[in-house]
Amino acid sequence: MLGLGLFIGSTGYAYWWIMLQFSNTITRRTKEIYLNKILVQETAWFDSFNYNEMSARLTKEMMAINKAIGEKTGVINVAIGMTLCGLVIAFVNGWSLALAMVAIGPAIGVCAACFGAMTTGKFKAGLKAYG
């Protein structure tokens, strides 16, 4: 059991590190392309923008890209992997209950979508009512 825990911990760390390096690489390349596109503008274009605002905006956008690629993509991949592993384990240990849960899954998904739509509608109505 200790070996399994060490394996899961080490693979989780390796996965985190790989996603971090991937997101940093993509962010660096995007920043270089973005900066090159800014530098080829005519000089009159720079007069219409504040240089402090441009650097702050560039940093803010690159941080958003980094977070979206590294953190969010990793969470989605882990969730998909956990779901698939859970289904495999469930079908191996108790196939009849797992089959019943898989059959009920689409109904649960439809109910969740309806709940989300109702919640969004009520939220928009509340915003509209209170301005």
> 89 is written with which tokens?
């384990």
pLDDT in the model for residue 46? 74
pLDDT in the model for residue 112? 94
pLDDT in the model for residue 131? 64
User: What are 53-67's pLDDT values in tens digits?
Assistant: 888 888 898 888 888
What CA–CA distance (Å, rounded) separates 62 from 24? 10
Is the pLDDT at 68 greater than 90? The verdict is no
**Whole-structure pTM value:** 0.58
Q: Spell out a b/e string for 7-34, using b for 16 or more CB atoms within 10 Å of the CB, else e.
A: eeeeeeeeeeeebeeebeebbeeebeee
- Yes or no: say if 70 and 23 are a contact pair by the CB < 8 Å rule: yes
Q: Where do we find the tokens 């060490």? A: 6
Is the pLDDT at 49 greater than 80? The verdict is no
